[in-house]
Amino acid sequence: MPKRTDIHKILIIGSGPIIIGQACEFDYSGTQACKALKEEGFKVILVNSNPATIMTDPEIADATYIEPITPEVLEKIIIKERPDAVLPTLGGQTGLNTAMKAIEAGIFKKYGVQMIGADYNTIKKAEDREHFKKAMLKIGLDVPKSALAYNMKEAKDALKKLGLPLIIRPSFTLGGTGGGIANTKEEFERIADLGLKSSMISEILIEESVMGWKEYELEVMRDKKDNVVIVCSIENFDPMGIHTGDSITVAPQQTLSDAEYQKMRDASIAIIREIGVETGGSNIQFAVDPKTGRMVVIEMNPRVSRSSALASKATGFPIAKFAAKLAVGYTLDEIRNDITRETPASFEPSIDYCVVKIPRFTFEKFPEAEDILGVSMKSVGETMAIGRTFKEALQKGLRGLEIGHFGLDNKSDFREISDEKIKHRLKEPNASRVFYIKYALQKGYSVSDIVNLTAIDPWFIENISQIVRLEKEFAGLKLNELNRDALLRIKQYGFSDRQIADLTNSNEIEVRNYRKKLNLEAVFKLVDTCAAEFEAYTPYYYSTYESECEARVSSKKKIMILGGGPNRIGQGIEFDYCCCHASFALKELGYETIMVNSNPETVSTDYDTSDKLYFEPLTLEDVMNIIDKEKPDGVIVQFGGQTPLNLAKKLNDLGAPIIGTSIESIARAENREEFNKLINKLGVNQAPGGCVNSKEEAADVASHIGYPVLVRPSFVLGGRAMRIVYDKTSLMEFMKEAKDVSEEHPVLIDKFLEDAVEVDVDVLADGRVAVIGGIMEHVEEAGVHSGDSACVLPPHTLSDEIIDKIRECAISLSGELNVRGLMNIQFAIKEDMVYVLEVNPRASRTVPFVSKATGVPLAKIAAKVMVGKSLKELGVTKEKQINHVAVKESVFPFSRFSGVDILLGPEMKSTGEVMGIDDTFGKAFYKSQLSAGGGLPKKGTIFISVKNDDKRHIVFIAKRLSDMGFKILATGGTHKAFKSNGIQAEMVGKIAEGDTKVLELIKKGKIKLIINTPSGKKGQSDMKPIRSLAVMHGIPCITTLQGAQAAVNGIESIQKSDFEVKPIQEYLSFNA
């Protein structure tokens, strides 16, 4: 059945900002879908609020709306574009939920837009737990016993009927928000209450606990002619009870016999048919009782998911691309397998390696939250590793996580860990459990002891036990005692050179050299969908230690780009965007591009993005192995965030041809003394400070410059462990932690500039000329991490003189550092003085935002500069001026971490970003808030409570809000300030004094906005319950005066007239 000819224009809904449970995998799937549909000649309209995506690049879709993803905006776009169809299954849960709401509001019907990929009833049947369960029972499949509840009374009845422990899952949420396992009555009531609130339809499923059962996922595809294939099976290392996004998972399944697996396959096919997913991919989860084999169906996602991105990368079968083609009428046998070229897509991939995915957590960012795992997802990213055995893939994955482990290593000494702690850490699922399994084995626990404590399948524990046993054989040997066979064996178990160095009391480089002397080098094998049965044409490689290397090394000029590894807070999709752009740009110049990355969610690890893809951990050893083989003409470390930058010097020392800004310049920007010299030389202002290596030095410097001080370890990203410190005690605490974060690098201490305006600048330079890419004014004051702050391009409150000063300073810094490529500078403006806060000679997080706002592809230009093009040749000679306003706003994961306060500080906490773009600041800001989640209210009640210093300023803000018709609630001091200025406001008491009125109003949804600027430690604790509750109920909560000011502007502009939508292509051409 060929392509449909009755539709021409298709609207694709993206997934919006990166949040926990919805990350770059939807950029990957969305980009694939847009490209696939465009290739077929369809006009593609895209809506996505996330500027850091490849899919929102102006050339990917025909019209790209970087606008809030809401039904109302969909309607505006539909009116403008009049698409024939909407494809909602590639934008994650956000895309699906928005489409569902739009249908319910009758929007699609009104404009004659048909939904393709899945219809309303199908989605309802799959997503609504009760419908789903009924459907499963109808086709003879088993499900956990359960009951539905819509209120607490029904929930309690279910508790009586089913008995504890119970699992509570809210319907229609993302990544299991608000769900949990209840072991006690109290827990049950708390989780049930939260679940009812976080469900879009106030519905929770209360379910028989299948905790500890084996967990499986199958990725299924179906076409219009009812042909169904299973793309990949996944077995979770962690058993049921831990969200699959937080579990270590393995592909393909390992411990089911064929008879059992085929039963699951049959069930999957029956499910996709019964639910009625007409075309495209779905993901179906099963649990299997390890004692009896009883198989129950857990859930189904009737759309492309995180697991399907993983399955695509694990098999080479591009699920999203094919899903898009199936949605427009093709059948599986009409689609060619890109990898083999000759065989069709109507097959089931066979793989000849083992894939391990390991989640990346950032509990260190939220010290108040425990690193305990459950049914609600908490990880922010993941790494995938491919090896010929599970042991090899697991160890590669652990070093690919970039959390300071070089495999299943001995970072902690098992002798120093108590039995009690081991048992506790094994029993209660947590982020480092896999290491505790090792420690337990080292302590002499048997495989079955560990199985009993963890409920992890014995096969996995046995494999870890084999690693431990082999390690024991090697411990204490000298390197030169190892022959090639012995070294081969340990490398085949996935041990890194660094681990071997630790065992043999040598160093990583010695092991590397010795290994090379014995002629033992990594070989590269292909991911080919077919286990070598057919010739493969796509160069998608992984390393292993075996007899035959399949890497096809060409004699072309080639550039290697090092990616950013797993997503984490501070290093995410923005850097992947830059890496992809580097690849695209260099391809344009005729270079062969080689991508190295370990993050399965990304566009960079699509085998289509670069000429060659090496799916490998970003460690010195793994990267050097590829360099040894490929001998690239240049290696780019500027685009992948801090990960490749941290490797730069060592790579350079081993002879890797790093291109772009020199290693010396990078060090000069990071090394405090060098940097001071540079600043002095240029005569630029800098907050006084110093660089210290000990507690004593720190105390000296701080007392010299005076508190408060801003402290941070050097060479980290995302303000990891960065803090504003007000006294010596806190400084000493900080020094201890800083050493844990970055052992080899000193700590920087600066005088903290209070109430300064922060400015971010991205600069392009070619060694001769520098051009400003964009100047962004932060909404929040200096001291809030730039990644967490909202920012505006162009600056909206700075004078031309100040902007000129900033420009001048940025250009002289890039000249002095001899930047080739991109550089980011952060400035603080206080009392008309311009201070330099920080200089990073690499692509920054704001690059995609600036590129989207100005239409200047900064990363592409930078990549071309790095291979020798001049800015002049590239036609980039002056800063782009724009006539519109773009606002970047950050998105936070606070609702995931109960007990965590939402106050912003120098440590970055946001997971993602959105962009609001319009002709005025007010409208752009309003859009940005709407996209970020809460959205600013147009009317209703606003609660205000500010610190003393802010009282004078808040009066003007409150006055305007009051004039706009808002009702104002305020606490004592704030209320007094309002009263004396003649602003109508109602007073509420402090929670500490027993007045819980505000909390009640928040729960009832009566308060529409909260403005709360905290003062010192005491004020923070009093308002914390209010802020936490606001987060749980999705009520916007502004914690800075500047944020409040911006919000007022936003509300004002929207009260005057509703906003309009406009594709990015129009903004950019208007400015050209």
Partner 1 sequence: MPNINHKKAILALEDGRVFEGFSFGADGESFGEVVFNTSLSGYQEILTDPSYCGQIVCMTYPLIGNYGINIDDVESRKIFLSGFIVKENSPIASNWRSQKTLSDYLGENNILGIEGIDTRALTKHIRLKGAMKAVISTEDLDIKSLVKKAKASRGLDGVDLVKEVIYDKPFEWNAKGRYKVAVLDCGVKFNILRRLEERNCKVVVLPADASADEILKLKPHGLLLSNGPGDPAAVTYVVSSLKKLIGKIPIFGICLGNQMLGLALGGKTYKLKFGHHGGNHPVKDLRTGRISITVQNHGFCVDIDTLKKNDIEITHINLNDNTLEGIRHKKYPLFSVQFHPEYGPGPHDAQYLFDEFIDLVKNYKR
Q: Which of 4, 197, 208, 347 binds partner 1 (CB under 8 A)?
A: 347
Considering the complex, what minimum distance in angstroms separates the CB of residue 373 from partner 1?
A: 23
Q: What value does the CA radius of gyration of the chain take, rounded to a whole number of Å?
A: 28
Considering the complex, what minimum distance in angstroms separates the CB of residue 890 from partner 1?
A: 43
Residue 253 in contact with partner 1, rule: CB under 8 A: yes
Would you say 505 and 511 are in contact if contact means Cβ atoms under 8 Å apart?
Answer: no
610 versus 625: smaller Cβ distance to partner 1: 625
Residue 881 in contact with partner 1, rule: CB under 8 A: no
Residue 349 in contact with partner 1, rule: CB under 8 A: yes
270 versus 682: smaller Cβ distance to partner 1: 270
Paired tokens of 992: 């500490």
Residue 515 in contact with partner 1, rule: CB under 8 A: no
What character string, x for contact with partner 1 (CB under 8 A) and - otherwise, covers 281-320?
A: ---------xxxx---------------------------
HSE on the CB side for 852, CA within 13 Å? 36
Residue 786, annotated ligand binder? yes
482 versus 908: smaller Cβ distance to partner 1: 482
Residue 783, annotated ligand binder? yes
Q: Which of 59, 462, 873, 1060 binds partner 1 (CB under 8 A)?
A: 462
Residue 402 identity: E
Other beta carbons less than 10 A from residue 1005's beta carbon? 12
Residue 519 in contact with partner 1, rule: CB under 8 A: no
CA 554 to chain centre: 34
Residue 252 in contact with partner 1, rule: CB under 8 A: yes
Residue 888 in contact with partner 1, rule: CB under 8 A: no
Considering the complex, what minimum distance in angstroms separates the CB of residue 271 from partner 1?
A: 15
Q: Which of 459, 716, 815, 1003 binds partner 1 (CB under 8 A)?
A: 459
User: Which helix (H) or strand (E) element contains residue 465?
Assistant: helix 458-474
Considering the complex, what minimum distance in angstroms separates the CB of residue 565 from partner 1?
A: 25
Cα–Cα distance, 22 to 1017 (Å, whole number): 34
456 versus 772: smaller Cβ distance to partner 1: 456
Q: Which segments of 51-202 are extended strands (E)? A: 63-65, 85-87, 114-115, 146-149, 166-170, 180-182
Considering the complex, what minimum distance in angstroms separates the CB of residue 584 from partner 1?
A: 32
Cα–Cα distance, 99 to 129 (Å, whole number): 19
Residue 210, annotated ligand binder? yes
Considering the complex, what minimum distance in angstroms separates the CB of residue 356 from partner 1?
A: 12
Paired tokens of 986: 């109602």
Q: Which of 2, 6, 160, 257 binds partner 1 (CB under 8 A)?
A: 257
Largest CA distance in the chain: 86
Stretch that binds partner 1, among 385-393, 771-779, 787-795, 803-811 (CB under 8 A): 385-393
Cα–Cα distance, 323 to 309 (Å, whole number): 12
Residue 531 in contact with partner 1, rule: CB under 8 A: yes
Considering the complex, what minimum distance in angstroms separates the CB of residue 80 from partner 1?
A: 40
Q: Which of 390, 675, 978, 1059 binds partner 1 (CB under 8 A)?
A: 390
Residue 530 in contact with partner 1, rule: CB under 8 A: yes
CA 406 to chain centre: 22
The site that binds partner 1 (CB under 8 A) totals a number of residues, namely 66
289 versus 608: smaller Cβ distance to partner 1: 289
* Phi then psi dihedrals of residue 620, to 5 deg: -55, -50
Considering the complex, what minimum distance in angstroms separates the CB of residue 257 from partner 1?
A: 5
Beta-carbon contacts of 887 under 8 Å, excluding residues fewer than 6 positions away, are 779, 790, 791, 792, 793, 915, 916, 917, 921, 924, 925, 927, 928
Beta-carbon contacts of 485 under 8 Å, excluding residues fewer than 6 positions away, are none
User: Mind spelling out the 3-state secondary structure of 667-720?
Assistant: HHHHCHHHHHHHHHHHCCEECCEEEECCHHHHHHHHHHHCCCEEEEECCCCCCC
Other beta carbons less than 10 A from residue 550's beta carbon? 13
Would you say 362 and 545 are in contact if contact means Cβ atoms under 8 Å apart?
Answer: no
DSSP 578-643: HHHHHHHHHHHTT-EEEEEE--TTSSTTSTTTSSEEEE---SHHHHHHHHHHH--SEEE-SSSTHH
Stretch that binds partner 1, among 395-403, 544-552, 601-609, 1009-1017 (CB under 8 A): 544-552
DSSP 509-572: HHHHHHHHHTT---EEEE--SBTTSS---S-EEEEE-SS-------SS-EEEEE---S-BTTBS
Residue 341 in contact with partner 1, rule: CB under 8 A: no
Residue 1020 in contact with partner 1, rule: CB under 8 A: no
366 versus 524: smaller Cβ distance to partner 1: 524
Residue 243, annotated ligand binder? yes
Angle at 252 between CA 251 and CA 253, to 5 degrees: 105
Residue 826, annotated ligand binder? yes
C-alpha distances in Å from residue 267, one per residue of 132, 289, 727, 917: 14, 16, 63, 47
Stretch that binds partner 1, among 222-230, 355-363, 570-578, 621-629 (CB under 8 A): 222-230
Cα–Cα distance, 891 to 16 (Å, whole number): 10
Other beta carbons less than 10 A from residue 34's beta carbon? 31
Q: Which of 65, 172, 286, 353 binds partner 1 (CB under 8 A)?
A: 353
Stretch that binds partner 1, among 339-347, 412-420, 567-575, 668-676 (CB under 8 A): 339-347
User: Which helix (H) or strand (E) element contains residue 825?
Assistant: strand 820-830
Q: Which of 137, 139, 201, 532 binds partner 1 (CB under 8 A)?
A: 532
Residue 258 in contact with partner 1, rule: CB under 8 A: yes
Query: Which residue's entry shows tokens 């607490």?
Result: 152
Residue 225 in contact with partner 1, rule: CB under 8 A: yes
Reduced DSSP (H G I as helix, E B as strand, rest coil) percent helix, strand, coil of the chain, to 5? 40, 20, 40
Please state whether beta strands 747-751 and 791-793 pair in parallel, antiparallel, or not at all (unpaired).
unpaired
Stretch that binds partner 1, among 179-187, 527-535, 719-727, 952-960 (CB under 8 A): 527-535
What character string, x for contact with partner 1 (CB under 8 A) and - otherwise, covers 472-491?
A: -xx--x---xxx-xx--xx-
Cα–Cα distance, 636 to 584 (Å, whole number): 13
Q: Which of 458, 688, 815, 1025 binds partner 1 (CB under 8 A)?
A: 458
Q: Contacts with partner 1 in 228-247 (CB under 8 A)? A: 229, 233
Residue 525 in contact with partner 1, rule: CB under 8 A: yes
Helix (H, G, I), strand (E, B) or coil at 28: helix
Q: Which of 389, 812, 1065, 1071 binds partner 1 (CB under 8 A)?
A: 389
Residue 572 in contact with partner 1, rule: CB under 8 A: no
What character string, x for contact with partner 1 (CB under 8 A) and - otherwise, covers 97-136?
A: ----------------------------------------
Q: Which of 96, 351, 464, 759 binds partner 1 (CB under 8 A)?
A: 351
Beta-carbon contacts of 272 under 8 Å, excluding residues fewer than 6 positions away, are 220, 222, 228, 282, 284, 300
Q: Contacts with partner 1 in 667-726 (CB under 8 A)? A: none
Stretch that binds partner 1, among 254-262, 317-325, 494-502, 723-731 (CB under 8 A): 254-262
Residue 712, annotated ligand binder? yes
Binding residue ranges for Mg(2+): 285, 299, 301, 826, 838, 840
Q: Which residues bind partner 1 (CB under 8 A)?
A: 225-227, 229, 233, 252-262, 265-266, 290-293, 332-333, 342-344, 346-354, 388-390, 447, 457-459, 462, 470, 473-474, 477, 481-483, 485-486, 489-490, 525, 530-535, 546-548, 550
Binding residue ranges for ATP: 129, 169, 175-176, 208, 210, 215, 241-243, 285, 299, 712, 751, 753, 758, 783-786, 826, 838
Binding residue ranges: 129, 169, 175-176, 208, 210, 215, 241-243, 285, 299, 301, 712, 751, 753, 758, 783-786, 826, 838, 840
